[in-house]
Amino acid sequence: MTVRVLICDDHAIVRQGIQQMLADAADIALAGEAADGAEGVAAVRRAAAGGAPIDVVLLDIAMPRRDGLDVLRQLKDEFPRLPVLILSTYPDRQYAVRSLKLGAAGYLNKSADSEQIIAAIRKVAGGGLFITPTIAELLAASVGNAGVQPPHETLSHREHQVFGLLASGRSVGEIAGQLSLSSNTVSTYRARILEKTGVRNDVELALYAVRHQLHGV
C-alpha cells in the first residue's frame, strides 16, 4: 500500500526538502502540497471527493492567516480518522502537548532527519501515534500536573495566539491584521489574557513568557 501524503507549509523550500525526503521511500507518494491552511483543507476535500483520499497530512504549525492548530482542529472535525503530523520549529514543550490534545497523530521538529520523518509517516498511516521520548515526558507531566496548571495553560487557543503575538512585541492593530480580527476583539482577548496570567501590561506579559520559557509562541 502506498501512503499518500499532503505537505502543508508556507515555505516552498521546506516543501521541496520534504518532497526529496519522501522520494527515497518507495511506499510513500506525494499527493499534493499547500502553501497555507485554506489550501490544505481544500486539497484534502478534493482528494476525498475524487476517490483518492489523503492518508497523512504534514502540517506546519506557523502559517499566515490561519495557524496550524486552527487547521488541525478543522481537519479533525471534518476528517476525524485522518492522521495529521504537526511540523514545527518551536521547542517541543511549547506546542507538542497542545497539538496532541487537539488530535494530532504526532509532533515533529523540522530539524528531524529524513529517517525520523519517514518513520513517523509510516507509523501514523498505520493508525499509531508518533511520540518521541521527550514528548512522552511532557505528556506525562501534563497529566500529572492537571490540577496545578500554570496560568497560560488555561488560555483558549485564540487567546494563546494573541498572547504569543503580544509577548513578541506586536501591537493590537498588527495582531488584528495578522489574525483577521477587529482591534476591539483583540483588545478583549488581551484583557482576558492579562487577567488570567495575573500581569498588568504587555511588558510584564513579555517577562512572563521569558520566565515560563515560552519564547517564540
| Local confidence band at 211 (pLDDT 50, 70, 90 cut-offs) | confident
Q: Residue 24 has what DSSP assignment?
A: T
Distance set, CA 170 to CA 134, 203, 204, 206 (Å): 31, 11, 14, 11
State the average pLDDT for the chain: 87
In what side-by-side order are the strands of the sheet with 106-109? 28-34, 3-8, 56-60, 84-88, 106-109
Which pLDDT does position 24 carry in this prediction? 87
Amino acid at site 28 = I
Is residue 8 within 8 A of residue 18, CB to CB? The reply is no
pLDDT score for 117 = 93
Spell out the CATH class of 149-211.
Answer: mainly alpha
Ranges assigned E (strand) in the chain: 3-8, 28-34, 56-60, 84-88, 106-109
Segment 146-157, tens digit of pLDDT: 555 678 877 877
> Which CATH number is 3-143 given?
3.40.50.2300
- Looking at residue 209, its amino acid is A
**Which position has the higher pLDDT, 142 or 135?**
135
Residue 118 has pLDDT above 90, yes or no: yes
Instruction: Measure Cα distances from 162 to 53, 67, 173 in Å.
Output: 34, 12, 12
Domain ranges in the chain are 3-143, 149-211
